[in-house]
Amino acid sequence: MAVKIRLARRGRKKAAQFDIVVADARAPRDGRFIEKLGTYDPNTNPASINFDADKAFDWIMKGAQPTDTVRAMLSYRGVLYRKHLQLGVIKGAIAQDVADQRFADWKEQKDAKIESKRTTLGTAKEETRKAQLAAETKVKEARAEAIRQKQAAATAAAAPAPAEGEATEAAATEEAAS
């Protein structure tokens, strides 16, 4: 019996979520499975990958074959690196404590890298929001200034201009004075 570690689809149309399962290779994609290892949600940024790494490691060591997508996830989370180190221990190339230390160091670096990506995405999103808010404020101020100018022009036009008779009388008095 060939055992695969693969994805089983769930979720609604155009919003897929997946279960990471261990199943017989002959079983249908969403059908019978042996064990559920975790979940995968590609709709988030970065994609949410939650599974029990110890169970996945056990199944990999027993000979279960992951599909391409699941292989990438296992590699991303370090399960395949852990298998690589464990095979070195079995062959006698390295000691178990050295393998554990190497995996712990790798895991720490990987977690820091993932966290930095999350914070970078969060700060970029916040900066974009602030830039949009500043642009909206600028447009709002420009509109308010245009309205003020329009009102000033309207009040200037509505102000009583000197009557023609008054203007001619003022001009006549100036001529007489000269």
Q: What is the CATH number of the domain that holds 25?
A: 3.30.1320.10
pLDDT at 34: 92
Q: Is residue 125 part of a domain?
A: no
Residue 130 lies in a domain: no
Q: Is residue 28 part of a domain?
A: yes
Residue 127 lies in a domain: no
Q: How many whole angstroms from its chain centre is CA 112?
A: 17
The pLDDT tens digits for 21-44 are 999 988 888 888 899 999 999 998
Number of domains in the chain: 1
Measured from the Cβ of residue 99, the count of other Cβ atoms closer than 10 Å reads 18
Q: For residue 109, name the pLDDT band (cuts at 50, 70, 90).
A: very high
Task: Output 171 or 37, whichever has higher pLDDT.
Answer: 37
- Copy the structure tokens of residue 143: 């509109």
Residue 64 class from Cβ within 10 Å (0-12 exposed, 13-18 middle, 19+ buried)? buried
Mean pLDDT taken over the chain: 86
Q: Is residue 42 part of a domain?
A: yes
| Domain boundaries, position 21 | 3-94
Q: Interior CA angle at 48 toward 128 and 43, to 5°?
A: 60
Q: Is residue 116 part of a domain?
A: no
In a domain, 12, yes or no: yes
Instruction: Give the separation between CA 113 and CA 173, rounded to whole angstroms.
Output: 88
Kindly report the pTM of this predicted structure.
0.64
Q: Decide if 33 is inside a domain.
A: yes
Q: What digits encode the pLDDT tens for the residues 59-103?
A: 999 999 999 999 999 999 899 999 999 999 999 999 999 999 999
Give the pLDDT band (50/70/90) at residue 165.
low
Torsion from C-alpha of 167, 171, 176, 178, nearest 10 degrees:
150
